[in-house]
Amino acid sequence: MIDPFIQAALLMTTPILLAAIGGLVNRIGGLVNIGLESMMLAGALVAVEVSAATGSVIAALAAAALIGGLIGLSMSLVVTRLQANEIIVGLGFSVAVAGLVRFVLKSAYGVSGTFNPPGVAMLPRINIPFVSDIPVLGAILSGQDGLTWFAWAMVPATAFLLHRTRAGLRLRATGAAEATVRAVGLSPLSIRDASTVFAGAMAGLAGAHLSIGVVGLFNEGITGGRGFIALAAFYFGRSAPWRTALGALLFGLFDAAQIRLQGHGAPAELVQMLPYLIVIIVLTGLGLADRSRVSERALS
Amino acid sequence: MGVAMLPALSRAAGVAAPFALAVVIGAIVLAATGHEPLGVYGLMASEAFGGERRIAATLTAATPLLLTGLAAAVAFRSGIFNVGAEGCFYLGGMVAAVLGFALGDWPSVLLIPVALVGAAIVGGLWLVGPGVLRARLGVDEVVTTLMLNFIAVDLTSWLVNGPLLARGSANSATAPIAVGAELPRLLPPTTLHLGFVISLALVALYGLWSRFTVAGFRSRIVGLNARFSRAVGIHVSSTFLRMMVLSGLIGGLAGGIHALGLVHRFVAGFSPGYGFTGIAIALLGRNSALGIILAAIVFGALSSAGATMQLFSDVPIEIVEIMQGAVMIFAVAKFGFGQARGARA
């Protein structure tokens, strides 16, 4: 009874987690990425196209990461080189890429909304013998796809890279003290661009997970605002990898619960809005905590 | 005289450049997919402005954008990054539609103002939260207002699927409003309605307010330099809150006018992103009244042309979305001169 739900929740966590880690790295590098949704959408479409054309999952994932990275790069260049506001540019990319994707569907494949080519190779699920028979633990560890393992492996990897390596230090400095980075002869703008390319590639993989990991086709609504949920996850996690993963897991649970509720006539829309509401509550709590810290300092 | 022309010229170029780039990007997409860009643009121009009926359709499409553009401009000029007009639009539309149905036996002269004021109030109240959070706790209003948009969409979609679903209706919609609640049509065969005049008047009023009143000046100074404003004794955080709520009032009103003037009920998916397009309009129009009007008409033309173009050609309507997104992206980009601040490292 609980096992299918755990499976579903973990499955829905993966795309949110992938995009959230990308967005987290991007934010630490000094750019709040509102365009994750657009990179996810493009990744989902390209993964289906390449998977159907080549039958290779690896090629599909590479193509999805590539298109996400390319969109990330173009978005980043507008922000860093033309000094455009990242929020507006991100929203602009969400509008333009959604339009472009639908335009391509209609004019290249003659379909509107759903693209379901024959021969889409799906991400294989990894079944672990013996473990799969254990209740709960089996549902958690066995039967997941490679991207889910990758997403969770990226959590400690990101924490390590950010805090224990030179590249991580440079990235953190780019976000926190741009002038310092310039003073030691590095280009903060290029570092920031690289972090956006990374975020785009991760969001592209997130899209690929939705299309060739979950449903096996492309639909224009496939991302369903998950790029913005990913944004909510790294705001929830205050840009710390493990806290962000916790947020992604929480929102994945909501997503799975919401899909369940739809079948029972329960108000799925109200569950859908929970992640957004939680972010506002978390931000309010942080604001209150900041204020009391400031007033304590003023008193002492 | 000649010197005074220069900034005006560079401002005009600043407005034209994003649009020109969007046209170029659209042309590339069209050419790459085997369409003839010039022919498509010619068709779009005649669909948007060729004849009285087409112009009326363009102005109808511009109506919600005038007000969502105004909602964004009011906030932006005070340095508040409110991206929450979309949510206000949904809630305002829903409230006006419900009042227009529930108070259907009231006379029009009473019913319409009450429904519109109700829509505006709900829109204003919706942004009190982010306004207070920004003013008192310094919480980033971009994130809170963005999140509130999704909440508003989900909340209204729950309401029209549940408690407010019209009896006997299978799709997610409220009951139609009473005939007395409908805004009068201006050119009867076309859908152009009184809402256009109301919206235009409000934008003009904003132009006067921002230029000639103390409050208008003060709100701009706060946007230009909050620390200076504090130093000269302007209450910055209460200005933030006031402008945020004003922006929400206008966003809610925009939704109310859209419900009473055009849709005549509230449906799920009420706005195709008018609130977000409004952001592009405010930026493109540099927060000025005239700029907002021109930009709203340009975006109105794009969407009215896109809607009918599909009937006469095989060009997908989404070309309009691509161009709208591109305008938004380039409206905030700085071209040429401006980047001598050592930003190129």
DSSP for A72-115, written as a single string: HHHHHHHHHHS---HHHHHHHHHHHHHHHHHHHHHHHH--SSEE
What are the CA-CA distances from residue A142 to residues A146, A188, B73, B279, B291 (Å)?
11, 42, 53, 47, 59
Residue A145, φ and ψ in degrees, nearest 5: -90, 170
What's the gap in Å between the CA of B151 and the closest CA on chain A? 5
Pairs of CB atoms within 8 A across A/B = 157
**What value does the mean pLDDT take over residues A62-79?**
96
- Determine, yes or no, domain membership for B240: yes
pLDDT at A53 over 90: yes
A137 within a domain of the structure (yes/no): no
Q: Is residue A128 part of a domain?
A: no
Which has the higher per-residue pLDDT, A66 or B312? A66
Nearest by CB to residue A78, choosing from B129, B279, B333, is B333
Q: Tell me the chain A residues in contact with residue B329 when contact means C-beta distances shorter than 8 Å.
A: 78, 84, 88-89, 92-93, 96
How many CB atoms are closer than 10 A to CB B246?
Answer: 24
Q: Which residues of B touch A239 (CB under 8 A)?
A: none
**Segment B157-167 mean pLDDT:** 78
Whole-number Å distance between alpha carbons of B58 and B300? 5
Percent of chain B whose pLDDT exceeds 70: 92
Integer Cα distance of B139 and A280 in angstroms:
9
Among partner residues B29, B83, B158, which is closest to A103 by beta-carbon distance? B29
Which pLDDT does position B7 carry in this prediction?
63
pLDDT of residue A224: 86
pTM of model > 0.90 = no
pLDDT of res. B175: 82
Q: How many domains does chain A have?
A: 1
B280 inside 8 A of chain A by CB = yes
> Residue A26 domain-assigned?
yes
Structural contact between residues A192 and A210, judged by C-beta atoms closer than 8 angstroms: no
Residue A233, domain member (yes or no): yes
Whether A70 shows a pLDDT value over 50: the answer reads yes
* A114-115 and A218-219 strand pairing: antiparallel
- The region that residue B36 occupies, defined by phi over 0 for left and psi between -120 and 50 for alpha, beta otherwise, is beta
Residue B343's pLDDT is 35
ipTM: 0.86
Q: How far is B105 from chain A (nearest CA, A)?
A: 32
- B129–A283 CB contact, under 8 Å: no
**Helices in chain B by DSSP H: which ranges?**
2-32, 37-49, 52-76, 85-102, 108-126, 128-132, 141-161, 194-212, 214-224, 226-231, 236-258, 274-284, 289-312, 318-331
What pLDDT, on a 0 to 100 scale, did the predictor assign at position A137?
84
d(CA B84, CA B258): 17
User: Which of A55-69, B126-140, B230-244, B268-282 has the highest mean predicted lDDT (pLDDT)?
Assistant: A55-69
pLDDT at res. A48: 96
B150–chain A Cβ distance below 8 A for any pair = yes
Is A268 a residue whose pLDDT tops 90? no
Instruction: Please report which confidence band the pLDDT of residue B345 belongs to, taking 50, 70 and 90 as the band edges.
Output: very low
Residue A133 lies in a domain: no
Interface touch A99/B320, C-beta < 8 Å: yes
Give the pLDDT score at B126: 96
The answer to which of A143-147, A261-265, B4-8 has the lowest mean pLDDT is: B4-8
- Domain that includes residue B105, residue range: 64-299
List the single best residue of A27, A45, A80, A82 to mutate versus B (max B Cβ within 10 A): A82
The dihedral built from the CA positions of residue A188, A194, A195 and A196, taken in this order, carries a sign that is positive
Q: Is the pLDDT of residue A266 over 70?
A: no
State which residue of chain A sits closest to B334, comparing Cα positions: A82
Q: Taking 80 as the threshold, does the pLDDT of residue B192 lie above it? A: yes
Q: Which residue has the higher pLDDT, B223 or B289?
A: B289
Distance CA B44, CA B299 (A): 12
Quick count: other Cβ atoms within 10 Å of Cβ A7? 18
Cα separation of A150 and A145, whole Å?
Answer: 9
What pLDDT is recorded for position B236? Answer: 78
Distance from CA of A122 to the nearest CA of B (A): 29
* pLDDT tier for residue A191 given thresholds of 50, 70 and 90: very high
Neighbours of A70 (CB within 10 A): 16
Judge residue B104's burial from the number of C-beta atoms within 10 Å of its C-beta, 0-12 exposed, 13-18 middle, 19 or more buried: middle
The residue-averaged pLDDT of B143-164 equals 88
Instruction: Decide if B257 is inside a domain.
Output: yes
Please give the tally of structural domains in chain B: 1
Task: Please indicate whether residue A137 or residue A265 has the higher confidence score (pLDDT).
Answer: A137
Mean pLDDT is lowest, of A209-223, B75-89, B184-198, B325-339, for: B325-339
pLDDT tops 80 at residue A37: yes
- Residue B162 is which amino acid? G
pLDDT number for residue A218: 94
Q: How far is CA B130 from the centre of its chain?
A: 19
| CATH for A253 | 1.10.3470
Enclosing domain of residue A98:
2-122+145-299
Q: Is any Cβ of chain A less than 8 angstroms from the Cβ of B187?
A: no
Nearest CA in chain B to A75: B329
Tell me if A95 and B143 make a contact (CB, 8 A cut-off): no
Residue B210 CB partners (closer than 8 Å, separation 6+) = B77, B216, B217, B219, B220, B287, B289
| B residues 211-240 closer than 8 Å to A (CB) | none
User: Cβ contacts (< 8 Å) between B34 and chain A: which residues?
Assistant: 107
pLDDT surpassing 50 at residue A127: yes
Over residues A228-253, the pLDDT tens digits come to: 999 989 988 888 999 999 999 999 99
- Structure confidence at residue B341 (pLDDT): 37
Q: What is the pLDDT of residues B56-112, one digit of tens each?
A: 999 999 999 999 999 999 999 888 889 999 999 999 999 999 999 888 888 888 899
- Which chain A residue is nearest to residue B321, measuring alpha carbons? A99
Distances (CA, A) of B73 to A246, A260, B78: 37, 42, 9
Interface touch B154/A286, C-beta < 8 Å: no
Beta bridge partners of A115: A218
Q: Please indicate whether, in this complex, the C-beta atoms of A94 and B325 are within 8 angstroms of each other.
A: yes
**Percentage of chain A exceeding pLDDT 70:** 96
What pLDDT is attached to residue A297? 60
Mean pLDDT of A134-155: 88
b vs e for A123-161, b when ≥16 Cβ sit within 10 Å of the residue's Cβ? beeeeeeeeeeeeeebbebbbbbbbbebbbebbeebbeb
What's the rounded mean pLDDT across residues A288-295?
Answer: 76
CA-based end-to-end distance of chain A: 55
Tell me the average pLDDT across B151-178: 80
In one letter, which amino acid is B266? F
Across chain B, what does the average pLDDT equal? Answer: 85
Rounded Cα–Cα distance for residues A34 and A87 (Å): 6
In this structure, of A4-18, A84-98, B141-155, B229-243, the range with the lowest mean pLDDT score is B229-243
- pLDDT at B3 exceeding the cut of 70: no
CB contact under 8 A, A283 and B144: yes
Cα–chain center distance at A37: 8
Q: What pairs with residue B90 in β-bridges? A: none
Output the pLDDT for position A300: 52
- Please state, in angstroms and rounded to a whole number, the distance separating the CA atoms of residues B275 and B73: 12
Q: What is the DSSP letter of A238?
A: T
> Residue B282: inside a domain, yes or no?
yes
Radius of gyration of chain B, Cα coordinates, nearest whole angstrom:
21
For range B292-305, the mean pLDDT: 90
**Contact: B335, A88; criterion CB under 8 Å:** no
Surface-to-core class of residue B256, CB atoms within 10 Å of its CB (0-12 exposed, 13-18 middle, 19+ buried) = buried
Does residue A147 contact residue A18 with C-beta atoms inside 8 Å?
Answer: yes
Q: ∠ CA(B127), CA(B129), CA(B133), 5° rounding?
A: 120
Q: Cβ separation of A280 and B137 shorter than 8 Å?
A: no
Q: Is the pLDDT of residue B240 over 50?
A: yes
Residue type, B75: A
Distance from CA of A235 to the nearest CA of B (A): 9
| CB-CB neighbors (< 8 A) of A104 in chain B | 33
- Residues in chain B closer than 8 A to A231 (CB atoms): 143, 146
Q: Say whether pLDDT at B13 is over 80.
A: no
> From B142, which residue of chain A is nearest by alpha-carbon distance?
A87
Cross-strand pairs, B182: none
If we measure between CA atoms, which residue out of A226, A75, A284 comes closest to residue B140?
A284
pLDDT > 60? residue B338 = no
Residue B344 domain flag: no
pLDDT attached to residue A35: 94
Share above pLDDT 90 across residues of chain A, in percent, rounded to a whole number: 55
B319 falls within a domain: no
Half-sphere exposure of B175 (CA within 13 A, CB side): 16
Nearest to A212 by CA among A114, A122, A148, A149: A122
Tell me whether residues B150 and A187 touch, CB distance under 8 A: no
Instruction: Determine, for residues B144 and A291 on separate chains, whether the beta-carbon distance falls below 8 Å.
Output: no
